[in-house]
A and B are shown apart, each in its own frame.
Chain A
Amino acid sequence: MELLKMSNISKSFFGVQVLSNVNLTINKGEVHALLGENGAGKSTLMNILAGVYTRDSGSIIFDGKELIHTTIKEAEDIGIGFVHQELNIFNDLKVYENIFLGKELINGFRKLEKKAMINETRDLMQSLGVDIDPLELAGHLDTSKKQLLEIAKVLHSNAKLIILDEPTTALNNEEIKKLFGIIKHLKKQGKSFIFISHKMPEIFQISDRYTVLRNGSFIKCQDIKHTNPEEITRYMVGESYNSESMYETRALGEVVLELKNLSGEGFSNINLSVKKGEIIGLTGLQGAGCSEVIQTIFGVMRAKSGEIKVHGKVVTQNDIQTAMKNKIAMVAANRKENSIIPDMSLLENIYISEHVLNYKKQHIVKQREINKYTRLKELLNIKANHYGDAITSLSGGNQQKVILARWLNTKADIILFDNPTQGIDVGAKSEIYKLILELSKEGKTVIMNTLEIPEIQKIADRCIVFYHGGIEVELHRNEINEENVMLHATHAVHTRLNEKEEENDRD
C-alpha cells in the first residue's frame, strides 16, 4: 500500500533548477533509502515534503490526501516526521520538555502537567528500548542519545513517515545496531522510513527499496534485493564518473610539515610527516579529531603537548599569525561562519589576509590590489562581475574560491582545507578538486579534512583515518575506498577482531 506518492516534483532557486520531475513512492511499513551525491537534490526534496520549501510544480499524495501548500506544522500534524542531520535539540531543556515542546500537556488552570509528561516520556523511551532519563538535561546527553531523542520526539508526534537524514554519522557501531533494531521494530508497527545515508553497508542492511537522484533528476527506483553497491554507485555518479581522470602521480619533495606526538583538544599523540607537493586526506567520523588537528596546525587551537615542525623548524608560538608567517593557510569549515566577511567586497575579502602579513605598510594601493584580484580571479575561474560586489552575492562554490584566493594571495606553501566542498554544487566541487591537484603540481602541500570519502579518492596521495582522536590507519592511494575507510573510521576492524577472539576464547 502506498503511503506517499510524490510525482513530477520540480523546484528551482534563483533560476537554478535543483529538482526536475522527480518521483518518489514510499510504501507503508518500508524502509526506503534515498540516495545520491551531495547536491543531488535529496534534502531539497525532503524539505519540500516536510513543508520547509514550496514546490514549483508536481503533486504530493500522502495517506490518500493531496498536499497543497503544506506548512512545517501541517506536515508534522499529518504524520511526516523529519529528523534533521543537524540535531534540533534544545540543550537547556530537559528531555521530556524537548519531547513536549509546543504541545505541552496542561490542566484546567493552564498549569503544566509535568508528572504526566514525564511518565509519558518514560513509557516512550521504554517502548523504544532506550535508556534516557526524562529528567536529564538534553545538553548532557551524548550525540547518539540526542539522535535517539530526536527520533523519539518525532515518534511521539505520531509520525507515520519518518525521514532520517544521515542518522548514523555520529553513531558508533553498537549504537547503529541499536538504531536499526528500533527501526525494524517500528517497521513492524507499520511506520515507514526514508533513510538518507552514504554508507553502502548500512543501506543494504536496513532498506527494502531505494531511489537514486542525480543532479536533481530521478534516476532509478528498485528493490534493494535486485541490486549491488557497484550498480547503485554507478546510478549515483553517472557515466561521467571516473575517479582516476584528474589524478596524476607527482614527484614529491622534502618533508615540509611534521607532527610529533601532537596532542590537543580532541586528539592525542598524532605523528605525521607531509612532503612538499603531497595531498593528504584526513577523515573519520564527526568528532574523530581531524578538524581539530588542522585547526591546531593553523594555531586556532592550542597544542597541549608534542611539536609541530614546519620546514624543519619547530614552531614555538602556536598562533594564527605565526602559522601564516610560516606560510601555512587554512580554508576553514563552515564558510559562512568562519570565512566570509559579509559586509566586505570581493576585493576586500581577498586582500584582508595578505595585509596581515604586510601590516607595516599601512596604505592600500588599490590598483595593485585590483591587479592581484584579476589574476586570482582568472586563475581560479571565479564567476563575478565586479571586484566591488558583495561576496554574499556569489554562489557557494564561487565564495569558496574567493576564500581560496584569499589564501593563495598570501603565497602560502601549505594549505589546509577543512571540509572545503561543504554546501557547494557538484560542478564547483570538481573544479575545486582540479584546483587542488594543480596547486600540488606547483609544489603546494595540501592537507584536507573531509567526511566525504569519494573526495579523498579523487585527489589524495594518502588518507589518514582517525578514530576517537587518534590515527587509526594510514591508507595509500590504491587502498582508499569507501568500505575500507569506513571499516577503520568506525573501528569496525577491531570490533570484528575482538568478536573473533571472543569466539576463540569460547572454543
Chain B
Amino acid sequence: MTEIKLESRKAHHQVNIKKLWNECNYILIFLVIFIVFLIINGSETSWTSITNILLHSSIIGSIAIGMGLVILTDGIDLSVGSMFVFVGGLTILFYNITGSILLTLICALVIGGICGGINGILVGKCKMPPFIVTLSTMLIFRSISQYMMNEMGETRYRIEASMASYTALFEFGNGNVFTIPNLAWVFLFIVLAAIYMTTNMKFGKNIYAVGSNERAAKLAGINVEWVRIKAFAICGALVGIAAFLKIAKDTSFDPATSGMNFELYAIASVVIGGISMSGGKGKVVGIMFGAMAFTIIDKIITALGMNALLNDTVKGIILLIAVGIQMIQKRSSK
C-alpha cells in the first residue's frame, strides 16, 4: 500500500518537473543565449550593455506582447510592422502640428487602437481569416504611408526640431531613470500590465478560453467576437506605444524600411516565449524573454564582428531550435 503511495508520489513529482520544464523552457533558451553573450563580451560586459538589451528590446517587445495576445486567441496579426510605420507617420504629423508630447502619445494609442480594431472587426465580426485580413492591412498600411510621404515630396517622416517640447521628447526617448533607460521602464510596465491582465483579469482568462476552444467559450457565455476585437485593438494600441517610443528615440520614420519584418520578429518572440501558435496556451512573460533573446543575438553578431546580413540566418536557426525543443516536449508528454 505504502509502495503504491510512494510510486504515485514519485510519478506526481515527475509530472511536476515536466510541467515546470514545459512551462518555463523560454527562460532556458534565453539563459543559454545570454550566457553565450556574456562569454563573448567577456571583460567588456557592463551594466549598460545589459540594460541596453532591455532598451533595444523595448520597441519590438511591446509589439510582440500585442502579437502574443492575438496569438493566444488563435489569431495572428501580420500587419504590425506596417501599422507601426503608419501610426508613427501620422503621429509625427500630429506632433508637428500640436507640439504636445501627451497629446501625441494619446494620438499614437488611439490611431493604433483603431487600426487594430479594424483588423479585429474584420476577424471577429465578419469572421474573415486573420491571416488574410492582416496580410491585406499589412499591404494597405505601408502603401498609404509611402504614398503620403511621396505626396509631400519627402523621404522620411521627421519631427520638427524647432518645436518647444522637442528636447523634452528626445530626452525622454534617450534618458535613464535609476540607470535604466526610460524606454526599458515603459516596456517593463507594459509587460507587468499584460501579465496582470492575463492572470488576474476576467478579460485575460477569456482570451485563453477563446483560443483554447472557441465553441466551448461561446457556449460558456463568452462574447467571442468582442474578445477577438479587443485583442486586436490592444495589439494595435501597443503598436501605437511602440511607434511613440521609436519617435522619442529616433525622431523619424522611414516609410519604406522602418518596421520591416517586425511582424516576423514579433511572431518569433512569441514562439520562443513558449506560446502555442494554435492559441490558448502559454505565458505572456515568456514573450519578454523571447524578445530579449532576439536582441541579444543582434549584439552577439556585432560583438563577433560578423556580417550584419547574417543576423536573420542566426535568428532563423535559433527559432527552429526553439520550436524543435517545444515539439520534442509535446511528443514526450503524449
Residues of A near any B CB (own CB < 8 A): 300, 320-321, 324, 330, 332, 337-344, 348, 351-353, 355-359, 361-364, 366, 406, 410
B window 60-108: CB within 8 A of A: none
Q: Assuming A321-B221, A344-B280, A364-B200, what are 19 further A-B pairs, CB within 8 angstroms?
A: A320-B221, A330-B219, A337-B215, A338-B216, A339-B216, A341-B208, A341-B212, A341-B213, A343-B208, A343-B280, A343-B281, A344-B205, A348-B208, A352-B205, A356-B223, A361-B202, A363-B200, A364-B202, A406-B220
Residue of A at shortest CB range from B281? A343
A352 in contact with B213 (CB, 8 Å): no
A362 in contact with B203 (CB, 8 Å): yes
Q: How far is the CB of A343 from chain B (nearest CB, A)?
A: 4
Tell me, in angstroms, the Cα distance from A364 to B219 when the chains sit together.
Answer: 21
A344 in contact with B219 (CB, 8 Å): no
A352 in contact with B223 (CB, 8 Å): no
A contact residues around B201 at 8 Å (CB): 362-364
Tell me, in angstroms, the Cα distance from A355 to B221 when the chains sit together.
Answer: 9
* CB-based closest 8 A-B pairs: A356-B221, A343-B212, A343-B280, A355-B202, A353-B220, A343-B281, A362-B201, A341-B212
Return 13 A-B CB contacts under 8 Å, by A number.
A300-B218, A338-B219, A340-B213, A343-B212, A344-B280, A348-B205, A348-B209, A351-B205, A355-B206, A356-B220, A361-B202, A362-B202, A364-B201
Tell me, in angstroms, the Cα distance from A406 to B216 when the chains sit together.
Answer: 12
A contact residues around B215 at 8 Å (CB): 337-338
Q: How far is the CB of A373 from chain B (nearest CB, A)?
A: 14
A356 in contact with B222 (CB, 8 Å): yes
Residue of B at shortest CB range from A357? B221
A contact residues around B200 at 8 Å (CB): 363-364, 366
Residues of B near any A CB (own CB < 8 A): 200-203, 205-206, 208-209, 211-213, 215-223, 276, 280-281
A341 in contact with B209 (CB, 8 Å): yes
Known: A344-B208, A352-B209, A363-B200. A339 touches B219 (CB 8 A): yes
B contact residues around A348 at 8 Å (CB): 205, 208-209
B contact residues around A357 at 8 Å (CB): 221
Residue of B at shortest CB range from A335? B216
B contact residues around A359 at 8 Å (CB): 202
Which one of B213, B215, B220, B223 has the greatest number of beta carbons of chain A within 10 Å? B220
Known: A321-B221, A321-B223. A342 touches B209 (CB 8 A): no
Q: When the two chains form the complex, which single residue of A320, A342, A343, A358 contacts B219, counting CB atoms closer than 8 Å?
A: A320
Known: A348-B205, A352-B209, A364-B201. A341 touches B223 (CB 8 A): no
B contact residues around A332 at 8 Å (CB): 216, 219
Tell me, in angstroms, the Cα distance from A3 to B206 when the chains sit together.
Answer: 56
Tell me, in angstroms, the Cα distance from A356 to B209 when the chains sit together.
Answer: 12
Q: How far is the CB of A406 from chain B (nearest CB, A)?
A: 7
Tell me, in angstroms, the Cα distance from A113 to B21 when the chains sit together.
Answer: 55
Q: How far is the CB of B72 from chain A (nearest CB, A)?
A: 10
Q: How far is the CB of B184 from chain A (nearest CB, A)?
A: 27
A contact residues around B213 at 8 Å (CB): 337, 340-343
A352 in contact with B212 (CB, 8 Å): no
Tell me, in angstroms, the Cα distance from A362 to B204 when the chains sit together.
Answer: 9
Residue of A at shortest CB range from B199? A364
Tell me, in angstroms, the Cα distance from A330 to B218 when the chains sit together.
Answer: 12
Which one of A352, A361, A363 has the greatest number of beta carbons of chain B within 10 Å? A352
B contact residues around A320 at 8 Å (CB): 218-219, 221
B220 in contact with A341 (CB, 8 Å): yes
Residue of A at shortest CB range from B203? A362
Residue of B at shortest CB range from A386? B12
Tell me, in angstroms, the Cα distance from A366 to B208 when the chains sit together.
Answer: 17
Tell me, in angstroms, the Cα distance from A351 to B211 when the chains sit together.
Answer: 17
Tell me, in angstroms, the Cα distance from A321 to B211 when the chains sit together.
Answer: 20
A353 in contact with B221 (CB, 8 Å): yes
Q: How far is the CB of B193 from chain A (nearest CB, A)?
A: 13
Tell me, in angstroms, the Cα distance from A343 to B221 when the chains sit together.
Answer: 18
Q: How far is the CB of B75 from chain A (nearest CB, A)?
A: 15
Q: How far is the CB of B260 from chain A (nearest CB, A)?
A: 33
Tell me, in angstroms, the Cα distance from A164 to B213 when the chains sit together.
Answer: 33
Q: How far is the CB of B73 from chain A (nearest CB, A)?
A: 12
B216 in contact with A341 (CB, 8 Å): yes
Tell me, in angstroms, the Cα distance from A341 to B217 when the chains sit together.
Answer: 7
Tell me, in angstroms, the Cα distance from A312 to B220 when the chains sit together.
Answer: 25
A340 in contact with B220 (CB, 8 Å): no
A contact residues around B219 at 8 Å (CB): 300, 320, 330, 332, 338-339
A contact residues around B202 at 8 Å (CB): 355, 358-359, 361-362, 364
Tell me, in angstroms, the Cα distance from A455 to B203 when the chains sit together.
Answer: 38
Tell me, in angstroms, the Cα distance from A341 to B222 when the chains sit together.
Answer: 12
Q: How far is the CB of B69 from chain A (nearest CB, A)?
A: 15
Known: A355-B205, A363-B201. A342 touches B218 (CB 8 A): no
Tell me, in angstroms, the Cα distance from A353 to B217 when the chains sit together.
Answer: 9
Residue of A at shortest CB range from B280? A343
Q: How far is the CB of B68 from chain A (nearest CB, A)?
A: 15
Known: A343-B208, A362-B203. A352 touches B280 (CB 8 A): no
A337 in contact with B205 (CB, 8 Å): no
Tell me, in angstroms, the Cα distance from A390 to B213 when the chains sit together.
Answer: 14
Residue of B at shortest CB range from A324? B221
